[in-house]
Each structure stands twice: as C-alpha cells, then as structure tokens.
Chains A and B, each alone.
Chain A
C-alpha cells in the first residue's frame, strides 16, 4: 500500500525556518518524481515545488523561489522541504504528492505550518 506521511509542521515566527519531511512507503520511491502542494486555511490548492526521481532537477513556484529548497534522500525514502524566511502568507497545510505523468496519484495527509508572532 502506498503511504506518504508528512511531518515537521508547527508554529514558527515570521522570518523563521522549518523543515518538512515526507516519509514514503509501499512503492519504489527512487523511481518517482515528487511534489509539494500547499493549501492555506479555507483556500485552494497551490503547487509549491517538485523534484525529479534522482534529485537532479528541481522547480519552484515564484512565490517560494529563493526561500524554499526541495530535496530527497532515496536511501531513506524521504522527501524534504526546507523553508526559510517564512512569511505569514506561507501559513498552510503542506502536502507531499507522488507524481505520475503530470498528475498526483497519491497524497499524504498533510502537515500544518503556521507562521505567526
């Protein structure tokens, strides 16, 4: 059974940092591109970042470029999102998602990040 379990969310002050993790199981993690998608409270889904299967290629939404870094450890079956210089508008539930042919076929349950003083 495919499982994606996010962790690392919490309350952080503006300007602070947080690292999210997404532990994958039930599939060959190293074969799949992975994405982060976020959802602000009461709002819609917004794509954040993606990484290809071997970690050699990354891409970011303009809103997080230069502040967020996506990475992965295929030996540990884990995807990461390092978030620096956090702003109030980064407050959201962050989902990791497995990608197949341009779509998310599996999603994690999400982890809530709250940026507030």
Chain B
C-alpha cells in the first residue's frame, strides 16, 4: 500500500484544466520533503515533469504546474491536449531519506 495516495483516474476535454492530487498517509511530506511528478506515456519510461513541488525541468511546457500545501501536493495541467494522455506519478522520499516512495499513479484520459 502506497503512502502517497492518488486518484486512479482523471479525465478532461481538450483545452480544459485538470488536477491530480497526491495525499500523504504518513509524515514524509508533512516533514517538508519535496514532491516530484513524472509522466509516463504508453509503452515508455517515466519522465520527470515537476521537481521540488513546483519546478519544471527544461523543455516541459508551462501548461504543467505543481503545488504543495501541508500533507498534500497537486499537479495541474491546463490547456489539455491529446498527447497529455498518460499515467502520472507523484514521488517523495521516505522518512529516513534513504529510499523513495511513489504514489499509485493516475491515468489521465483526454476525452
């Protein structure tokens, strides 16, 4: 059982805004640990999408944004496009900062 809880699925029409939540069920996020987000397109490896809660790596469109408040983090995607259809994962560190924990993943469907 993941200590980072995500909704199994979200959907939206092209052009719309969707958000994906990532809620902690232990203290690792509440302790101020960063949350990172990955996008996994079908049949491919994950790709870093947002790091340290709200930062975009070079090349990631500004339609993607992240936030964190208390024990919850969120990924927002605006101006939804067909190519955004993918699985999205949040990730943080365990309480000892020795390993990683992933959310269960959220499948985004673009209607």
Contact partners of B34 in chain A: CB under 8 A? 101-103
Instruction: With A35-B100, A47-B100, A59-B98 as known contacts, state yes or no: A103 contacts B91, CB within 8 Å.
Output: yes
Asked if B108 CB lies within 8 Å of chain A CBs, one says no
Q: Are B98 and A104 touching (Cβ within 8 A)?
A: no
With both chains docked as a complex, state the minimum distance between the C-beta of A52 and any C-beta of chain B, in angstroms. 10
A45 engages B52 (CB within 8 Å): no
**Is B61 at the interface (CB under 8 A from chain A)?**
no
Note all chain A residues with C-beta closer than 8 A to B105.
44-45
Which residue in A59, A101, A108, A110 is a CB contact (below 8 Å) of B99? A59
Q: Are A104 and B38 in touch, CB under 8 angstroms?
A: yes
What is the interface of chain A mostly: helix, strand, loop, or mixed? strand
**When the two chains form their complex, are residues A61 and B89 in contact, meaning their CB atoms are under 8 A apart?**
no
Which single residue of chain A is at the shortest CB-CB distance from B96? Answer: A59
For chain B, the count of residues having a C-beta within 8 Å of the partner chain is: 28
A103 to chain B, nearest CB (A): 4
A105 CB contacts on chain B under 8 angstroms: 48, 51, 57
Q: Nearest CB to that of B6 among chain A residues?
A: A44
Q: Do A103 and B99 touch (CB < 8 A)?
A: no
CB closest residue in chain B, given A45: B102
Give 13 CB contacts A-B under 8 Å: A44-B89, A45-B102, A45-B105, A49-B99, A50-B99, A95-B46, A102-B33, A102-B97, A103-B91, A104-B38, A104-B91, A108-B45, A109-B44
A residues contacting B by CB (< 8 A) are 35, 37, 44-47, 49-50, 59-61, 95, 101-110
